[in-house]
């Protein structure tokens, strides 16, 4: 691990969820990633996928393979949630204009209804 890598960010809500300090339905997980339901779902299926290791946002990613693995994980979770056939949206909000409100990298998986475009 490089000196700049952070494993846990103090006070980070998603780090606490990853560590099991805040209980959530652990929809799927492996050594690196965790999927759990969004607390304020915007669609019938709204799952968040996070790296267990703290990364603040897309801008701080150093291992770009992580982004691929998060998407591959989302595809599996979509199958598990029964929305693979009907389709879904995956997205990562970043920065102020992207309206990223939790500063721990997360991918949204949304499905179970037709998504609107353009997004608000
Ligand atoms: P952002 O706007 O940063 O892309 O999305 C953050 C998401 O995290 C929001 O959709 C919000 O509802 C969700 N969220 C915030 N706090 C919690 C929490 O404590 N538990 C869960 N499960 N989701 C949360
Ligand atoms: Zn964190």
pLDDT (tens digit per residue) in 27-86: 999 999 999 999 999 999 999 999 999 999 999 999 999 999 999 999 999 999 999 999
State the pTM of this model: 0.95
Comparing C-alpha atoms, which of 85, 5, 81 is closest to residue 38?
81
If one looks up domain 3-111 in CATH, what number appears? 3.30.428.10
Q: Is 101 in the pocket of ligand 1 (CB under 6 A)?
A: yes
Domain residue ranges of the chain, discontinuous segments joined by +: 3-111
Determine the Cα–Cα distance for residues 68 and 18; give it in Å rounded to an integer: 20
Catalytic residue positions, numbered: 106
Q: Is 27 in the pocket of ligand 1 (CB under 6 A)?
A: no
pLDDT (tens digit per residue) in 85-104: 999 999 999 999 999 999 99
Q: Work out the pLDDT band at 6, boundaries 50, 70, 90.
A: low
Which bound ligand lies closest to the C-alpha atom of 100?
1
């Amino acid at each position: 691990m490089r000196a700049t890598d952070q494993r846990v960010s103090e006070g980070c809500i998603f780090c606490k969820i990853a560590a099991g300090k805040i209980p959530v339905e652990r929809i799927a997980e492996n050594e690196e990633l965790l999927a759990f339901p969004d607390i304020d779902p915007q669609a019938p299926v709204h799952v968040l996928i996070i790296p267990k290791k703290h990364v603040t946002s897309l801008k701080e990613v150093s291992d770009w393979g992580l982004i691929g693995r998060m998407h591959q994980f989302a595809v599996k979770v979509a199958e598990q949630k029964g929305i693979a056939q009907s389709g879904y949206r995956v997205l990562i909000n970043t920065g102020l204009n992207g309206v990223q409100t939790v500063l721990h990298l997360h991918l949204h998986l949304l499905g179970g209804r037709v998504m609107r475009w353009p997004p608000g």
